Amino acid sequence: MTLATLLMAVAPTVFSPGVVSSAAHDSAPAFSPDSRTIYFGRSSGTVSFILTTHRQGTGWSAPQIAPFSGVWTDMEPAMAPDGSYLIFVSNRPTVAGDEPLDGMINGEPQPRRGANLWRVRRTPSGWSTPERLPDIVNSTPSTYAPSIAANGNLYFMRPDATTHKFRLFVAEFRDDTYREPTPLPFSHGDVSDVDPAVLPDESAIVFGSGRQRRKDIDLFVAFRKDGGWSEPIYLGDTINGPTSDAEPRWDRDLHTLYFSSERLEPVPTPIPAGAAATALRDLSGWNNGQYNIWSVDLGEVLRTGHLPL
């Protein structure tokens, strides 16, 4: 079976509708090592928080604001594979008492909407005070979308200096410090590449990109090959919906991919008897075209990633 056939055979499902997937913009779930706690982003046009939820039986608890969030514009949490620290995006000032960061997206100024990467460490009493990552990583006030490999290597996105389109970078972590970030070889800055999600062993990476040129952002996968990366492979029209799909994240089982999508769950017309109340509840609660979190099992795709399309 070819990779293209496998991609057509796996269908995403919405994750925790009405609880984690809500009427707001929900994205970027970061799982604890035991998969029983999730940190994720929830935002609107004016505010953005990092929330946390805990597994309760077969469902999830009502999300609460994470202890390190709730003051600034925070988003895109990423958990270290061993759970010892979490990196997230924030516009909080680099020096206490200063103004929030100004940023830039696609060459357009974003007053008070900048982005740097910050880290909280797990301690016996909870999460530590957030600390900003060094300037070698935060070289621009438009640094987003962290993803952490098991060896500490940090993947993220920031604008290309010439085109201003987002590119994907990796900063190797050696001797307890980050090295100078380098762009991933398939991310050239001619189109926007966003939201890297690397597997802990760096064998595969899923990311969003505008390179398909049919929609805003679609999901692609690249595989580790001969010490480098394969050319990105489009994840197909079943995983990618008719609108935008972005913000991928891996579960701790290392084969379930979570991502945010603007897709809508179809409602049949005419609506079957007795189903109108459910359709209205979903419309009010999550099925409204905002980003919701969806999941799909890519186990077979990862096992056969070497096969040609």
Residue 58 has pLDDT above 90, yes or no: no
**Is 182 domain-assigned?**
yes
**Is 209 domain-assigned?**
yes
Calculate the average pLDDT of the chain. 92
23: three-class secondary structure by DSSP: coil
**12-30 average pLDDT score:** 96
Q: Which residues contact 48 (CB under 8 A, 6 or more apart)?
A: 41, 42, 73, 74, 75
**Is 253 domain-assigned?**
yes
**Is 271 domain-assigned?**
yes
pLDDT of residue 305: 62
**Is 92 domain-assigned?**
yes
**283-302 average pLDDT score:** 91
User: For the stretch 15-48, what's the b/e string if a residue is b when 16 or more beta carbons lie within 10 angstroms of its beta carbon?
Assistant: bbbebbbbbbbbbbbbbbeeeebbbbbbbeeeeb
Q: Please write the tens of the pLDDT for every residue from 90-141.
A: 999 998 889 999 988 888 888 899 999 999 999 999 999 999 999 999 999 9
Residue span of the structural domain in which 63 resides: 3-303
**Is 120 domain-assigned?**
yes
Count of domains observed in the chain = 1
SS3 annotation, 203-236:
CEEEEEECCCCCCCCEEEEEEEECCEECCCEECH
Q: Please write the tens of the pLDDT for every residue from 150-208.
A: 999 999 999 999 999 999 999 999 999 999 999 999 999 999 999 999 999 999 999 99
**Is 180 domain-assigned?**
yes
Instruction: Assign residue 126 the CATH number of its domain.
Output: 2.120.10.30
Query: Degrees (nearest 5) of the Cα angle 300, 303, 304?
Result: 85
**Is 224 domain-assigned?**
yes
pLDDT of residue 308: 44
More confident residue, 17 or 213: 17
pLDDT of residue 213: 63
pLDDT of residue 45: 80
Give the Cα separation of 309 and 306 in Å (integer). 9
Give the Cα separation of 1 and 22 in Å (integer). 37
Residue 309 has pLDDT above 50, yes or no: no
Residue 3 has pLDDT above 80, yes or no: no
DSSP string, 113-139: --BEEEEEEEETTEEPPPEEPPTTT--
Give the Cα separation of 88 and 198 in Å (integer). 16
